[in-house]
Amino acid sequence: MPAAENEPRPAKSGTPAKSEKLAKGEKPAQGEKPAKGEKSEQTRTLILETAMRLFQERGYDKTTMRAIAQEAGVSVGNAYYYFAGKEHLIQGFYDRIAAEHQAAVREVLDRETDLQARLSGVLQAWLDIATPYHEFAAQFFKNAADPDSPLSPFSAESEHAREAAIDVHREVLAGAKGKVPAELRDVLPELMWLSQMGLVLYWVFDRSPGSERTRRLADRGARLTARSIALARFRVLRPIVLEIHELFTDFLPGMAQTAVARKS
């Protein structure tokens, strides 16, 4: 499924409009676009940030699109123009976390060539970025835990954010010294991202100060991953790695699409 379907963004061409001034609850007239260019991006960000604040304050389930629009000072129609629903706001949030993470890892990926150090740095950077959302993550978890939910990190709808996150692991691997067998080059970043999802699950429930237990787990996990990948030089192991990957691809609905997207 193309990412554009899941994450509506303002169309590139559109009639300038001022639908922020539309009466609340009124949808913009057909063909009318709320804003464009920088202004449009600002409105989109405003709605997303307002939504995240309300989700954190009131809980995801109890927050309506109407309340988000009202609090952001835009019309309900305008809010729906940018985000087709609450689920799309969460996808927007996932995309934003992914983009912030991609920027934050530059420093460590440009500096380190050791696989363990690169992976550990990438995981710690994710925990830094996610810290403000820790409490939200705990209450939101029940919505994201079902792999069939569009809010799951494994869903078709989350593909855009997932691909960005897997890209980071592709770079972790590609820029590390030491050769990785060609037959594993495609599957390892996806498996590394799956381990990261395990770490995120652990973090959601971690109540240690500063999530220090999760931070230690990230470092231990990075060491274990680097050692396991080093073992890939033994040919006898490779079929097992491929079989593990195939298992996840076959049984997690979104992963198959990731694999298809990669091949095309």
Asked whether 112 and 118 are in contact (CB, 8 A), the reply is yes
Name the minimum Å distance from CB 162 to a copy of itself. 18
Both tokens of 218, joined, read 């990230």
**Distance between CA atoms of residues 152 and 150, nearest Å:** 6
Among candidate residues 12, 8, 132, 20, the one with its CA nearest the CA of residue 82: 8
250 makes contact with a copy of itself (CB under 8 A)? yes
3-state secondary structure of 32: strand
205 makes contact with a copy of itself (CB under 8 A)? yes
Among candidate residues 66, 36, 43, the one with its CA nearest the CA of residue 54: 66
Residue 32: what are its φ and ψ, rounded to 5°?
-85, 130
Count residues binding a copy of itself (CB under 8 A).
28
Give the contact letters, 50-89, x = binds to a copy of itself (CB under 8 A), - = no: ----------------------------------------
How big is the CA angle at 137 (ends 131 and 143), to the nearest 5 degrees? Answer: 160
Name the minimum Å distance from CB 23 to a copy of itself. 40
240 makes contact with a copy of itself (CB under 8 A)? yes
33 makes contact with a copy of itself (CB under 8 A)? no
Site for a copy of itself in 87-146 (CB under 8 A): 141-142, 145-146
Residues in the site for a copy of itself, rule: CB under 8 A? 141-142, 145-148, 202, 205, 207, 213, 216-217, 220-221, 224, 227-228, 231, 234, 236-237, 239-240, 243-244, 247, 250-251
